């Protein structure tokens, strides 16, 4: 794996993490009910983890989903 590809992978994962953190902040800020906030956080975590795994799969030798 080249250096540029590795940097692109790390930057992509960092962008996903930052977007997930922003969504967590928005949920905390605008959702008054704690149970609803917890239910809204679950899909955010799952989508972020799925996006990270989709980026890591080609590195591990598996074909990409997309």
> Percent of the chain having pLDDT more than 70?
94
Taking the CA atoms of 21, 23, 17 and 7 in sequence, report the sign of the dihedral they define: negative
Q: For 39, how many CA atoms within 13 A lie in the half-sphere containing its CB?
A: 6
Q: 59 versus 50: which is more confidently predicted?
A: 50
How confident is the model over 19-48, as pLDDT tens digits? 999 999 999 999 999 999 999 999 999 999
Amino acid 66: pLDDT: 61
Global pTM reads 0.86
> Percent of the chain having pLDDT more than 90?
74
Amino acid 37: pLDDT: 95
CA nearest neighbour of 24 among 12, 35, 37: 37
Where helices occur in 1-66 by DSSP H, the ranges are 3-30, 34-60
Q: What ranges do the domains of the chain cover?
A: 3-60
């Amino acid at each position: 794996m080249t250096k540029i590809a590795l940097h692109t992978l790390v930057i992509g994962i960092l962008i996903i993490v930052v977007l997930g953190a922003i969504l967590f902040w928005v949920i905390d800020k605008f959702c008054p009910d704690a149970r609803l906030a917890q239910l809204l956080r679950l899909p955010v975590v799952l989508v972020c983890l799925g996006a990270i795994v989709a980026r890591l799969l080609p590195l591990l030798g598996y074909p990409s989903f997309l």
